[in-house]
A and B are shown apart, each in its own frame.
Chain A
């Protein structure tokens, strides 16, 4: 496009786009990185420090004197303050007022005649000339440089204990039928509005365009009453999967009809006319010619509808229950925000599980999504 010359202006363009991209991706990157971090590290340092070694002040309680062994006439309690983890001790101390008073390797005289040594790798020795008394172990304070630790523990925890796994299945249960069922219904209607002649067609198109923007809020209370009424009449629960599938279908139909009608109306007239001359009925034309040709528009709508039903919160909490077998991922996440507000290891992992499916759909089928957006918006919607 603009020549290969590197003018100062083009550098400014590159830099500003880079800045914008960073602004738009960093929040999500922070979430993903945090969800993979060790939960103790996540709670005390920012995700941008995830790769650097973190310095933490820690306390370790040595085993009680009862575990002492006699060696060369001295009594020794030994072990490792890191308890098996990899880290480097940079300072240590034996009381809380001076937790970092000594360098690793030093041997320190403690108040009661015992001597403490802590090495850089965390091994320590408490040595005493006489038998040590008491049942409580000595507290050892130390400052350690802990290398970054990444783990899938957070994901394991939320999938099992926090009910995210169940909600994942619930979300799939809501989203898949809600995406597939309206397609056929909308396609027939769109064909009629695009290519069949009947009185009132223009008005119906106008109604569909109008319904595109009707706020969902208008439907909530009347439909809730209707569902309660139908449930009581038939003796079934008012909040069921079938109910939410139909609700999602109803709310998705205006966009589906509008997208598909625009697309079908743009197909060449000659194809249909020659088929009609050959004696094909409207039904044949639709099933054998229009439906296959409309695949790109059907795919666009399917992606929209899937993203919308998967990401929806409002319809799900109004028309589907909040029990364990019904709560969808978005609903579960809102609950966790309330109950586990400070536990970022749980929130970040749960949020990432919630957004991973739409992100996969997005990256795999972006072409159709863009096409659908353009068809739905540039042309007047």
Chain B
């Protein structure tokens, strides 16, 4: 309990310090370059100076934090990826050569591509279908809330939930995992699903799809509602049926939003870590890049060179999406 009090006190102190910083710097700026009660030329010159400085005062804390926590680490990680495990001796490209020859790394790359192929596609697909269906029924909002709910659950919590679904008991004894119970009910024999090489990847992916479908659904549902009524009415008058309207009118109009959902989930998939750590910790050939990187960060006291090299690989995979995002944002804010 003490530490909660400590946390709240620190929090208040932090917020007050921030508020104090903004008030104080502004006050000082106005005191050094006063614009009130001065003659015209001097006042307007001071006004111009303060207007040039003030934005930077407003942004300074945020820019500092971004620089320390995100910008500097990117460059430092790249630098470290050319160094050995202690991060002190330059080793050139040998971390990257090591990767190419390492079976576990190749396994991770392969699994990551599987995840990239399956999870964004299925999440977006289910999200789109559910968004389209729930718009037509009176209890659609309740349905949406329930499907959206896993968004709030942590990956670790979701891993426990699904590990329970996949729970395995030896054949003949009563199954308490619902998947094996269904399989045995239909006469199959129970399996330890998460230990089946190759297929177990898909059982882990189900968890992320389960979480992310709600996200896709919410965004695509808003996009579907944004389609102008006139185009739909025109299609109905021209005699299009439900499926034709969906595939030929609705989908093309929300194509941009589908791309945004797809890329957002893609980035999440590249960073997937908690689910694999909690379910298998990379055993039974389910290793992925983010978990492998975490593993090397601490394995045998920590190999910072190889860990950083794996992080750089993840970063390189993200860069195309990053550029695409920036170009979109620039186009949108260009006028403003």
Complex contact A211–B271 (CB within 8 A): no
The answer to whether the Cβ of A206 comes within 8 Å of any Cβ in the partner chain is yes
**12 chain-A/chain-B pairs, Cβ below 8 angstroms:** A17-B133, A30-B161, A173-B7, A188-B59, A189-B59, A189-B63, A193-B59, A202-B330, A209-B325, A220-B294, A311-B153, A354-B157
**Assuming A172-B7, A250-B68, is B329 touching A215 (CB within 8 A)?**
no
B334's nearest neighbour on chain A, judged by CB, is A202
Residue interface mask A226-254, B partner, CB < 8 A = 1 = 10000000000000011001110111011
Residues of the A chain whose Cβ atoms lie less than 8 Å from the Cβ of B213: 24
User: Chain A: how many interface residues by the 8 Å CB criterion?
Assistant: 120
Assembly CA distance A379 to B153 (angstroms): 25
The answer to whether the Cβ of A334 comes within 8 Å of any Cβ in the partner chain is yes
Q: Which of B15, B213, B215 has the largest count of A CB atoms less than 10 A from its CB?
A: B15
**Assuming A202-B333, A380-B260, is B65 touching A223 (CB within 8 A)?**
no
Residue interface mask B38-52, A partner, CB < 8 A = 1 = 000000000000011
**Assuming A205-B329, A330-B154, is B15 touching A184 (CB within 8 A)?**
yes
**A308-325 interface (Cβ within 8 A of B):** 310-314, 318, 325
Residue interface mask B285-325, A partner, CB < 8 A = 1 = 00000100110010000001001101110110010011001
Residue interface mask B87-111, A partner, CB < 8 A = 1 = 1000000000000000000000000
**4 extra A-B contacts, CB within 8 A, seeds A28-B153, A45-B174, A313-B277:** A196-B55, A245-B10, A253-B66, A344-B167
**A204-231 interface (Cβ within 8 A of B):** 204-226
**Chain A nearest CB, measured from B151 CB (Å):** 7
Complex contact B66–A250 (CB within 8 A): yes
The answer to whether the Cβ of A59 comes within 8 Å of any Cβ in the partner chain is no
Complex contact B149–A27 (CB within 8 A): no
Residues of the A chain whose Cβ atoms lie less than 8 Å from the Cβ of B245: none
The answer to whether the Cβ of A289 comes within 8 Å of any Cβ in the partner chain is no
Complex contact A214–B315 (CB within 8 A): yes
**Assuming A185-B18, A219-B73, A221-B80, is B4 touching A172 (CB within 8 A)?**
yes
Complex contact A215–B314 (CB within 8 A): yes
**Assuming A380-B260, A381-B329, is B311 touching A10 (CB within 8 A)?**
no
The answer to whether the Cβ of A69 comes within 8 Å of any Cβ in the partner chain is no
The answer to whether the Cβ of B122 comes within 8 Å of any Cβ in the partner chain is no
Interface residues of A (CB under 8 A from B): 1-2, 9-10, 13-14, 16-17, 20-21, 24-28, 30-31, 34, 42-48, 169-170, 172-173, 176-177, 180-182, 184-186, 188-189, 191-193, 196-198, 201-202, 204-226, 241-242, 245-247, 249-251, 253-254, 257, 265, 281-283, 286, 307, 310-314, 318, 325, 330, 333-334, 337, 344, 347-348, 350-351, 354-355, 358-359, 361-363, 366, 369-370, 373-374, 377-381
Complex contact B307–A344 (CB within 8 A): no
Complex contact B7–A241 (CB within 8 A): yes
Assembly CA distance A245 to B57 (angstroms): 22
**Chain A nearest CB, measured from B209 CB (Å):** 10
The answer to whether the Cβ of B69 comes within 8 Å of any Cβ in the partner chain is yes
Partner of A217, one of B87, B163, B293: B293
Partner of B257, one of A224, A350, A378: A378
Residue interface mask B112-156, A partner, CB < 8 A = 1 = 000000000000001001100111110010010111111111111
Q: Which of A48, A215, A241 has the largest count of B CB atoms less than 10 A from its CB?
A: A215
